C-alpha cells in the first residue's frame, strides 16, 4: 500500500460521527478537534495524561480504547525538530510506528462489526528523503535516511488496519505554518530579530502548508469515502529555501542578512540538520485531482494572514 493512493467514490458526512482524535493537545490536533465539532461530530480526545481533563478524554498508554468510534484520526508523535539523541530517536519511533502498532492491535481486539470505518494517520514528507529537483507526487517511492525509514515504518504499521476492514489514509505533511505553532513561532521570532537567513545552499525545496489548509485537508479526507493510501498534504507551491527566506523577511519588514552554512547546522543540530538541508519538491497530486481547494496556495497568501 505504501506509495499507492486514490480518491474515488462519494463524499460522506461528518455530522453525527464519533471520531477518536489522538494527538489532540497539539497545534494541529487542537484545530482539527474544533473543526470536527463545528461540523457536528462528537470528538473523543486522547492524551498520555487524560486525568482531570474536562469532557471526553481517554488515555494513550498501554492498550488504546478505540471502542464506540466511527473513525480514528492519529496525529500523535514526538516532535522531530530537535537534536536526535538516542533517547529522542527512541521516542520518535515509539510515538509513530510503535503507537500505530498498538492502535492496530486495539482495533483487532474489537468485534468485527464494532470497529471504526476508517483510520487517518499522519505521516511526513520525510518519507521521500532528499530528492533534489525531482517532483514528488504520491506515486514516488521512499527515500533514504533516518526520517524516511521512520515514515516507512509508520505507514507500514498503519496500513495493517486495512486487513481489519478499515479504510486507511496516511497524509504526508510538510512544515505547518499556523499561529501558536512551533514552526511559525520560531521562524517569525528569528526573522523579526533580523537573525533569519538562508540555510546551506538555499537551493533545497521546502514543502509547507498553512494550518487552515492542513485542517481542511484532513476533514476532506475523512469525508471522501474513496480516499485511501498516501496523500501529500502540502501547498501546491513549494519554494526553495532562499525564496522562502526572502518572502518571509519581506513580510516582517526585516532584512535576511545571514547564511547558515551546512556544517554549522550539522554541528548544532546533528542528524536533524539533514531534514533542513535536503531538497523535497513535494506536490499534492491526489488532493488537486480530487478537487480540493486550497485557501492559501502561495506563501504570500499565507504570510498575509500570519503576519500581524
- The 3 state secondary structure assigned to 85-145 is CHHHHHHHHHHHHHHHHHHHHHHHHCCHHHCCCEEEEEEEHHHHCCCCCCEECCCCCCCCC
The reported pLDDT for the residue numbered 57 is: 81
pLDDT digits (tens, 9 = 90+) for 169-192: 999 999 999 998 888 888 888 888
Residue 52 — pLDDT band, cuts 50, 70, 90? low
Percent of the chain with pLDDT over 70: 94
pLDDT score for 265: 85
In a domain, 266, yes or no: no
Asked whether residue 191 is assigned to any structural domain, the reply reads no
For residue 14, being part of any structural domain is answered with yes
3-state helix vs strand vs coil in the chain, percent to 5: 40, 20, 40
The answer to whether residue 301 scores a pLDDT higher than 90 is: yes
Which pLDDT tens digit goes with each residue over 67-115? 999 999 999 989 888 889 999 999 999 999 999 999 999 999 999 999 9
Q: Give me the pLDDT at residue 5, please.
A: 56
pLDDT for the residue numbered 124: 96
- Predicted confidence at residue 10, as pLDDT, reads 47
According to the model, what pLDDT value does residue 9 have? 45
Question: 154 pLDDT exceeds 90?
Answer: yes
- 258 falls within a domain: no
- The pLDDT confidence band at residue 2, using thresholds 50, 70 and 90, is very low
Determine the structural domain holding residue 125 and report its residue range.
5-180+208-234+282-295
- The answer to which of 2-16, 163-177, 231-245 has the lowest mean pLDDT is 2-16
Q: Any idea what DSSP says for residue 242?
A: H
Q: β-pairing, 239-240 with 205-206? A: antiparallel
- pLDDT, position 54: 58
Task: Report the number of distinct structural domains present in the chain.
Answer: 1
Domain assignment present for 75: yes
Percent of the chain topping pLDDT 90:
74
Q: Read off the C-alpha cell for 169.
A: 489514509
CATH for 85: 3.40.50.720
Whether 161 is in a domain gets the answer: yes
- Asked if 151 and 55 count as a contact pair (C-beta separation under 8 A), the reply is no
Res. 51: pLDDT tops 70: no
Phi (first) and psi of residue 234, to 5 degrees: -145, 160
Strands 228-233 and 5-6: antiparallel
The pLDDT of residue 150: 95
Residue 302 within any structural domain of the chain: no
Give pTM, 2 decimals.
Answer: 0.92
Average pLDDT, the chain: 91
Residue 3, pLDDT > 60, answer: no
Residue 306 located in a structural domain: no
Amino acid at each position: 500500500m505504501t506509495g499507492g493512493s486514490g480518491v474515488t467514490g462519494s463524499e460522506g458526512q461528518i455530522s453525527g460521527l464519533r471520531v477518536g482524535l489522538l494527538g489532540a493537545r497539539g497545534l494541529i490536533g487542537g484545530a482539527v478537534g474544533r473543526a470536527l465539532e463545528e461540523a457536528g461530530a462528537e470528538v473523543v480526545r486522547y492524551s498520555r495524561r487524560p486525568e482531570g481533563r474536562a469532557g471526553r478524554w481517554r488515555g494513550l498508554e498501554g492498550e488504546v480504547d478505540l471502542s464506540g468510534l466511527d473513525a480514528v484520526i492519529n496525529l500523535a508523535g514526538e516532535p522531530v525538530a530537535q537534536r536526535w539523541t538516542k533517547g529522542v530517536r527512541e521516542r520518535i519511533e515509539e510515538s509513530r510506528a510503535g503507537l500505530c502498532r498498538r492502535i492496530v492491535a486495539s482495533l483487532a481486539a474489537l468485534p468485527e462489526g464494532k470497529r471504526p470505518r476508517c483510520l487517518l494517520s499522519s505521516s511526513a514528507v520525510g518519507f521521500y528523503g532528499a530528492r533534489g529537483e525531482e517532483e514528488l507526487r504520491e506515486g514516488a517511492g521512499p527515500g533514504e535516511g533516518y526520517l524516511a525509514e521512520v515514515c516507512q515504518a509508520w505507514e507500514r504499521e498503519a496500513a495493517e488496519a486495512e486487513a481489519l476492514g478499515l479504510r486507511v489514509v496516511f497524509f504526508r505533511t510538510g512544515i505547518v505554518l499556523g499561529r501558536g505553532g512551533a514552526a511559525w513561532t520560531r521562524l517569525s521570532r528569528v526573522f523579526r530579530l533580523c537573525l533569519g537567513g538562508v540555510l546551506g545552499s538555499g537551493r533545497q525545496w521546502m514543502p509547507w502548508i498553512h494550518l487552515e489548509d492542513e485542517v481542511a485537508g484532513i476533514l476532506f479526507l475523512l469525508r471522501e469515502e474513496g480516499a485511501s493510501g498516501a496523500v501529500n498534504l502540502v501547498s501546491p507551491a513549494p519554494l526553495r529555501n532562499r525564496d522562502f527566506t526572502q518572502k518571509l523577511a519581506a513580510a516582517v519588514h526585516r532584512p535576511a542578512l545571514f547564511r547558515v552554512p551546512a556544517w554549522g547546522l550539522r554541528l548544532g543540530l546533528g542528524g536533524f540538520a539533514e531534514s533542513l538541508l535536503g531538497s523535497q519538491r513535494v506536490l499534492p497530486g491526489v488532493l488537486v485531482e480530487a478537487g480540493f481547494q486550497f485557501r492559501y496556495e502561495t506563501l504570500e497568501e499565507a504570510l498575509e494572514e500570519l503576519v500581524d
